[in-house]
Each structure stands twice: as structure tokens, then as C-alpha cells.
């Protein structure tokens, strides 16, 4: 079991030997505890202090006249637990200024609590951060003692913008993820169609200092200088944005120096994934106007009246689409306009053509050279009156014989209005 120790029970020196239990001295606890733990013989030797977090193994519980009490056994071990926390330090009391213990500094947290830290762990940069306001630390605690501490450089940078005239200090970072993020910089507009003529092969990356994650854009010329899961000191970066959290700009003057390997907690990988691929729940077209934030919708592209209008912007508009195709459009946002509810693509939008498996009844076929709409494709007429396209290479001669006998029944896989697989 694990418990926060709120009182230490001292064991009186016993005269007995062997298996005789040494009775605990009845001291009043300093504060109310959830349960009383009595430590016997060797288990009572471990030096403990109020406020320490401990794990006490192999104990037994018993009902006494004072309530439930837990007692140590011959197997009991007491393990001091370390905890990782984010601390906001408002001030520090150094040795010689009234600190409680020689060789230790006393730090005051923004919440009003105090902790101790070995003077050797106190970095001069901590003083400068306190002068600017609140010092934010990633710390490892053992009870009321800080045993490891590091300044949260990335979070501090994003939340409190330095003087725009001053240079930002080098930042020790790890590249958690890097993905392609092509950018169309020029277009050719012909016959109401937009075709990209120049694309920059940029990349988007998630970086971390071991505590905070943020996203940066790497332009084409910069993208090849770094690698995923490698650590660097980034120098020459700038910030942009009107309010916290600010964004980091990686420009032509930014340099990446290979540095010591940074270790990041496992949860940062999930946070990095969420930055690159935010949640986009599948939403029906009827419900999309009620959905807040990003969503994914699915439907058939139609020529005339539609249930909702989807506007595709910039790179999202490059995907070749045709009327009748079934598509899945991810990471879109809905807005109310004077024309009704309209859905718009975002930087995260992806358009996925959906395949469907169907059983078709083919009444006739119009082959290439007989008036088919597209060269290299046959046009098939279904018994219901609709038409589909099929690549001439997929048309088996046995299909003609079946049509001559009546209706051709096919098991087919469709992509919009196109048959991409077919078998009798």
C-alpha cells in the first residue's frame, strides 16, 4: 500500500529479544491521517519525516478499539516514493538569509508551500527567472525535498515573450515527429479548374524540451537538416503571435547544433500525435451544423441540390474529384453563412475516396468506339437506369455472353461512379 506519512511513530528501546514485539510510543500525530501504520522492530529503523510519500509493503490490517490499524510484518519494506511535478516558484531563501537548513535553500511556491533544495542543484538561471516573475520548474521530489530540477525553457518561451529586440537563448530540443506538409505557391487557372504549378516540399515537426510540445514549420531548404528522434540546440529562432502561447518561427538564420540526447516521457508521443493529427469525429451531414470544432463528413458528390456545401481551399482543392464519387472529408469546420450552413476545409483536411462493394445488374454496355464517354473506358447501363464506367481492361469477354442471355449480374467494387473490380 502507498500512503502519505503524516506522523512518525517512534519506537522505544525494548529489553526483550527474539520475536517479542516492541510497543510503539504513543505520540500524537501532527495532523489527521487516513490510517495509522505501526512499524515494529526493524521496520521502525527507517528514518522518515512528516510530508514524505512512502510505499509500505507486506503489512496487515486489524480492527482495534481505536479503529482499523495497519501493522508491519517481518516482510515489510518501506520505500520512499519520488514524484515528478511542475512547480511554480515565487521566491527563494538562501543559506545565510534564514534558510532552515545549512547547505539547503528554501523555496516558496506560488501556492504558499515551501520545499527544500540542495544549494548545489540551484542554477543561477533560476534567480534570473524569479526576477522576471514566476520560475517554472520540472522537479523530482522526495517528500519535501527537491532532488532534481530543470527550468521549463520551452513553456517559458511560449508563455512569456522576451524583448523583441533581444536574441532568444539556444533551446535544447528533441524532434518527436516530422511529416510532409507540401505548400502550393503558384497556380494555373484554366476552364474553371485550378492546377498547382509550383509546390514547396515543406515539413511540419513537433519538438519538445522533455516537458512541453509545440509545432514548427520547416521550409523546404531547412527540412533536410534535422531528423526525427534526434536532439539539437536550436539557435536563431524567433517568435510570432499576438498573445501566449506564441509560436516559434524557424527561418533561414536558424541553426541546429547536435546536442546531448533528451529523454522524453512516453505521454509526449501521444501529445505530438494529437498536434499533427487532431481529433476529427465522424459527423452526419444533418448534425454537422451542431458540431463544434473539427469534424469528418462522408457523402456523395452531386451536381445539383446537395444537403450541404463543402468549400475546399488551397491544397485541399488539388484532389481530383468527380460527380458521383463517394468521399470522406476529414478535419473540416462548419459555419453559418447567409447562404446557410457551409463546411470549409482546414490545414488538416484530407479527402479520401471511399470504395463500396455492390451487386450490380448490368443491362447493356457501350464500348470505346461505340460512343463511350471516355477513351479507354466502357460505359455500362444498369437495370435501374444509372450508368457506370469500367476500364476496358477489366471487362471480361464472358460479360458480353451474359448480357446476350439477359441481365449480367456482377459483384463489383466501386469508387464513386467507377467500377474498379468486377466478377460474375
The pLDDT value given to residue 320: 75
Residue 119, SS3 per DSSP: helix
Contacts of 225 (CB under 8 A, 6+ apart): 256
**Which domains occur in the chain, in start order?**
2-80 (no CATH), 82-151 (2.40.50), 156-276 (2.40.50.140), 288-353 (2.40.50.140), 355-423 (2.40.50)
Rounded Cα–Cα distance for residues 171 and 262 (Å) = 12
In this predicted model, what pLDDT tens digit does every residue of 280-338 receive, in sequence order? 888 877 777 677 788 877 666 555 444 677 888 777 777 777 766 778 888 888 887 77
The pLDDT value given to residue 174: 92
**What does residue 221 show for φ and ψ, rounded to 5 degrees?**
-70, -25
Looking at per-residue confidence, does 39 or 342 come out higher? Answer: 39
Residue 151, SS3 per DSSP: strand
In this predicted model, what pLDDT tens digit does every residue of 199-237 receive, in sequence order? 888 999 999 988 889 999 999 888 888 999 999 888 889
The pLDDT value given to residue 7: 40
In this prediction, residue 45 has a pLDDT band, given cuts at 50, 70 and 90, of confident
Geometric angle at alpha carbon 224, from 320 and 177, rounded to 5°: 75
Please say if the pLDDT value at position 277 is more than 80.
Answer: yes
The pLDDT value given to residue 226: 92
The pLDDT value given to residue 203: 93
Looking at per-residue confidence, does 214 or 55 come out higher? Answer: 214
Rounded Cα–Cα distance for residues 237 and 217 (Å) = 12
The pLDDT value given to residue 134: 78
User: β-strand 231-235 against 135-142: which pairing, if any?
Assistant: unpaired
- Average pLDDT, whole number, for the chain? 78
In this prediction, residue 51 has a pLDDT band, given cuts at 50, 70 and 90, of low
Residue 369 CB neighbours (<10 A): 7
The pLDDT value given to residue 227: 92
Please say if the pLDDT value at position 98 is more than 80.
Answer: no
Q: Which residues pair with 142 in a beta bridge?
A: 82, 145
Q: Mean pLDDT check: name the lowest of 91-95, 115-119, 357-361.
A: 357-361
In this prediction, residue 27 has a pLDDT band, given cuts at 50, 70 and 90, of very low
Nearest to 422 by CA among 390, 400, 379, 397: 390
Residue 308, SS3 per DSSP: coil
Amino acid at each position: 500500500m502507498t500512503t502519505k506519512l503524516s506522523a512518525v511513530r517512534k519506537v522505544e528501546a525494548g529489553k526483550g529479544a527474539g520475536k517479542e514485539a516492541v510497543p510503539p510510543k504513543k505520540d500524537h500525530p501532527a495532523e489527521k491521517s487516513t490510517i495509522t501504520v505501526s512499524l515494529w522492530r526493524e521496520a521502525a529503523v527507517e528514518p522518515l519525516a512528516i510530508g514524505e510519500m512512502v510505499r509500505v509493503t507486506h503489512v496487515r490490517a486489524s480492527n482495534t478499539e481505536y479503529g482499523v490499524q495497519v501493522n508491519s510484518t517481518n516482510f515489510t519494506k518501506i520505500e520512499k516514493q519520488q514524484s515528478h511535478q511542475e512547480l511554480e516558484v515565487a521566491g527563494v531563501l538562501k543559506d545565510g538569509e534564514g534558510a532552515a537548513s545549512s547547505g539547503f535553500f528554501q523555496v516558496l511556491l506560488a501556492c504558499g508551500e515551501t520545499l527544500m533544495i540542495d544549494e548545489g542543484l540551484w542554477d543561477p538561471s533560476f534567480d534570473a527567472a524569479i526576477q522576471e516573475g514566476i520560475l517554472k520548474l520540472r522537479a523530482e521530489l522526495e517528500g519535501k525535498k527537491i532532488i532534481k530540477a530543470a527550468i521549463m525553457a520551452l513553456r517559458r518561451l511560449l508563455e512569456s515573450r522576451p524583448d523583441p529586440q533581444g536574441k532568444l537563448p539556444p533551446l535544447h530540443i528533441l524532434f518527436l515527429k516530422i511529416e510532409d506538409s507540401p505548400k502550393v505557391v503558384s497556380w494555373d487557372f484554366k476552364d474553371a479548374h485550378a492546377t498547382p504549378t509550383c509546390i514547396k516540399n515543406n515539413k511540419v515537426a513537433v519538438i519538445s524540451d522533455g516537458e512541453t510540445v509545440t509545432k514548427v514549420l520547416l521550409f523546404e531548404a531547412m527540412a533536410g537538416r534535422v531528423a526525427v528522434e534526434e536532439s539539437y540546440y536550436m539557435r536563431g529562432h524567433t517568435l510570432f503571435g499576438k498573445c501566449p502561447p506564441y509560436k516559434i518561427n524557424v527561418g533561414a538564420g536558424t541553426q541546429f547544433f547536435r546536442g546531448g540526447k533528451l529523454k522524453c516521457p512516453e505521454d509526449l508521443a501521444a501529445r505530438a500525435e494529437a498536434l499533427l493529427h487532431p481529433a476529427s469525429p465522424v459527423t452526419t451531414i444533418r448534425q454537422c451544423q451542431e458540431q463544434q470544432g473539427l469534424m469528418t463528413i462522408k457523402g456523395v458528390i452531386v451536381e445539383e441540390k446537395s444537403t450541404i456545401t463543402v468549400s475546399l481551399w488551397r491544397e485541399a482543392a488539388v484532389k481530383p474529384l468527380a460527380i458521383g464519387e463517394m468521399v470522406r472529408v476529414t478535419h473540416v469546420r462548419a459555419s453559418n453563412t447567409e447562404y446557410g450552413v457551409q463546411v470549409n476545409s482546414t490545414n488538416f483536411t484530407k479527402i479520401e475516396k471511399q470504395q463500396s462493394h455492390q451487386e450490380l445488374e448490368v443491362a447493356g454496355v457501350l464500348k470505346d468506339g461505340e460512343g463511350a464517354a471516355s477513351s479507354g473506358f466502357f460505359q455500362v447501363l444498369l437495370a435501374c437506369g444509372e450508368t457506370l464506367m469500367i476500364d476496358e481492361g477489366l471487362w471480361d469477354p464472358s460479360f458480353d455472353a451474359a448480357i446476350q442471355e439477359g441481365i449480367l449480374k456482377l459483384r463489383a467494387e466501386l469508387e464513386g461512379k467507377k467500377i474498379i473490380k468486377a466478377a460474375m
